[in-house]
Amino acid sequence: MPNDPRYPAVVNAQTRLHHWSVESARERAERFREARDAGVTPEQIAVITGLPLEVVMEDLGARAANSRAVSLVWA
């Protein structure tokens, strides 16, 4: 495929999609955390977003784990 003239465009599109996906996941985790801090339960977040509860819990857990890791570094 590297010889295909479309190859650079395909790689560029894949790269942009990957960056968008990473940004979206970070933003989603941040929004979930904000909602949880405001008193919305993970179950309610799942119902509102239509995402499986496992995804919501993973995002909240990953965010909490990242926060703890940062706290340990600064401690």
Domain residues of the chain, as ranges? 7-74
Q: What is the mean pLDDT of the chain?
A: 81
Phi, psi at 63, each rounded to 5°: -65, -45
With a CB cutoff of 8 Å and minimum separation 6, the contacts of 52 are: 46
Average pLDDT over residues 69-74: 44
The pLDDT tens digits of the residues spanning 30-58 come to 999 999 999 999 999 999 989 899 999 99
Provide the pLDDT for residue 20: 81
Average pLDDT over residues 2-28: 85
